Amino acid sequence: MNRSITLRTAWAALLVLGISIAGCGSRKDTPDGSSDDPPPIFACSTTQVADFARQVVGDRYNVQSILSPGADPHLYEIKPSDAQLVVDSTLCAENGMHLEGGEWMRTLAEQAGKLDKLITCTDGVEPLKLEVEDETVDDPHTWFSPANAKIYVNNILEAVCQDDPDHEAEYRARASLYLKQIDTLDVWAADQITAIPPSQRMLVTSHDAFNYFCQHFGLKSSAPVGWSTGSEIGGGLTPERRKAVIESIRDSGVKAIFVETSVNPKLIREIAKEAGVEIGGELYSDSMGPPGSAGETYLGMMRENVLTIVEALRD
């Protein structure tokens, strides 16, 4: 589907509904505990970005994720309510590197006149380059390396401190603790993964989302669907990729492969059957888990993924 048409349609619907655009989103008094003003809206494209934002701002902003848990950012079709949320926001944030298919978050920010308030969390991240169909594409799933997650947090932190300098010390203190927690996760995960025999250190998933995770923690990765579940260059399923994945499963002798929470599991189930291996469980990939689940935060989704992977691939 042509995403620019979809975006235009959503925007037109907004106007038809008579939703006011002018004057929205201007910053009110900084919430200081004594004010009844609602906190300003911080609109984020993905669940991971929203979690990073919450870890920095606490309750001083009303952080909202446009994507729901389990939603696929590559294929997402925006709604009029998304456009309104960005219009009403004081800050907004995207993953970037084309994770948001057709750059839907950037388009929403642009149409709301909020490009100067848009944080691109992957700014400063060194991308892995994917060679696909004679082109080079930056892999957008960068949060899977804890080192990159810290860049997301720092990008958000600097933008928030600029937007609300009165509470800079608080934001920096909160980020400081959270960055230490990411470091702890990193060390813990690397230690857990040592329980997987070297011959089993291969992660086969639905789509090519785990390259940063695998590079960081010393595994190989393989997926039948490319870096995007959509129709971008190098995205989608091809018969060649499907065949190559089955061959790599057989060649490696890996005993389990994994479905993802944000992707239909049908293909991986077929491949598991064909290759004669088990389904090792479900991994959080492009989305965190729902509220109340073990994977509802970045630290939680990474922890649960590591536990699932180690349990399936260890002796």
Among 103, 286, 296, 304, binds Zn ion (CB under 5 A): 286
In the bound complex, what is the minimum distance in angstroms from residue 307's beta carbon to Zn ion?
A: 21
Among 160, 196, 202, 209, binds Zn ion (CB under 5 A): 209
Does residue 189 interact with Zn ion by CB under 5 A? Answer: no
Scanning 75-83, 105-113, 126-134, 283-291 for contacts with Zn ion by CB under 5 A, the matching segment is 283-291
C-alpha 76/C-alpha 68 separation (Å) is 10
Specify the residue, 164 or 260, whose C-beta has the smaller distance to Zn ion.
260
Specify the residue, 74 or 167, whose C-beta has the smaller distance to Zn ion.
74
Specify the residue, 56 or 203, whose C-beta has the smaller distance to Zn ion.
203
Q: CA–CA distance from 303 to each of 66, 178, 283 (Å)? A: 24, 15, 10
Specify the residue, 46 or 89, whose C-beta has the smaller distance to Zn ion.
46
In the bound complex, what is the minimum distance in angstroms from residue 111's beta carbon to Zn ion?
A: 24
Specify the residue, 164 or 286, whose C-beta has the smaller distance to Zn ion.
286
Scanning 45-53, 75-83, 250-258, 281-289 for contacts with Zn ion by CB under 5 A, the matching segment is 281-289
DSSP collapsed to 3 states, the chain: CCHHHHHHHHHHHHHHCCCCCCCCCCCCCCCCCCCCCCCCEEEECCHHHHHHHHHHHCCCCEEEECCCCCCCCCCCCCCHHHHHHHHHEEEEEECCCCCCHHHHHHHHHHHCCCHHHEEECCCCCCCCEEEECCEEEECCCHHHCHHHHHHHHHHHHHHHHHHCHHHHHHHHHHHHHHHHHHHHHHHHHHHHHCCCCHHHCEEECCECCCHHHHHHHCCEEECCECCCCCCCCCCCECHHHHHHHHHHHHHHCCCEEEEECCCCCHHHHHHHHHHCCEEEEEECCCCCCCCCCCCCCHHHHHHHHHHHHHHHHCC
**Closest by CA position to 99, among listed 80, 81, 117, 121:** 121
Specify the residue, 93 or 209, whose C-beta has the smaller distance to Zn ion.
209
In the bound complex, what is the minimum distance in angstroms from residue 286's beta carbon to Zn ion?
A: 4
Specify the residue, 25 or 226, whose C-beta has the smaller distance to Zn ion.
226
In the bound complex, what is the minimum distance in angstroms from residue 120's beta carbon to Zn ion?
A: 17
Report 97-126 residues binding Zn ion (CB under 5 A). Answer: none
- How many residues at the interface with Zn ion, by CB under 5 A? 2
Give the pairing of strands 62-65 and 41-44.
parallel
Scanning 32-40, 184-192, 201-209, 296-304 for contacts with Zn ion by CB under 5 A, the matching segment is 201-209
In the bound complex, what is the minimum distance in angstroms from residue 141's beta carbon to Zn ion?
A: 6
In the bound complex, what is the minimum distance in angstroms from residue 217's beta carbon to Zn ion?
A: 18
Scanning 109-117, 202-210, 238-246, 272-280 for contacts with Zn ion by CB under 5 A, the matching segment is 202-210
Specify the residue, 72 or 163, whose C-beta has the smaller distance to Zn ion.
72
User: Where along the sequence are the contacts to Zn ion (CB under 5 A)?
Assistant: 209, 286
